[in-house]
Amino acid sequence: MPQIRDPSTKSGAASTAEKTESAAWSEPLLAVLANPNGRPKEARKSMLDLSGSGWEVTAMTAEGKSLSVRLFNAAGDDRAQRLSLDGHAGKVTRMELNGDTREVQDPTATSDGRTTVELRIPRFGVRTVKFDNHSL
């Protein structure tokens, strides 16, 4: 990881505060829903579950009842992996980067109220997935 240099010192050594700030900006985004008035088990939910996939969420946008998620395969292989969304989605569409529809999939609803879909993303590949009629 490149170090931040302090130009005000002759050695240009990075300060501890600067290293910590740099590390904080390099951390992956963790998207969670929180209900501060809910019971402890219900107070936090993970909106997306990418466990063990090696994928990272690079962007997420909501328009009406649609949620678009852009994924980057940073460390995984190209095996089919499961993407799980908290809530219900009527349809899942794999989109091209220019917004064209590539593939429409029927998602699977789980007993705990999540929507899952299987995807393949090549190593260092990018995919955009759109969840239509999304509700929590």
Q: Where do the domains of the chain lie, and which CATH numbers do they carry?
A: 47-132 (2.60.40)
Tens of pLDDT, residue by residue over 87-120, are: 888 899 999 988 899 999 989 998 888 899 999 9
| Better pLDDT: 15 or 47 | 47
Percent of the chain with pLDDT over 70: 66
Per-residue pLDDT at 76: 80
Per-residue pLDDT at 13: 53
- The rounded distance, in Å, linking the Cα atoms of 107 and 90 is 7
The owner of tokens 């029927």 is: 106
- CA distances from residue 78 to 11, 64, 81, 104 in whole angstroms, order as listed: 45, 32, 8, 19
With CA atoms as reference, report the closest residue to 120 among 68, 82, 80: 80
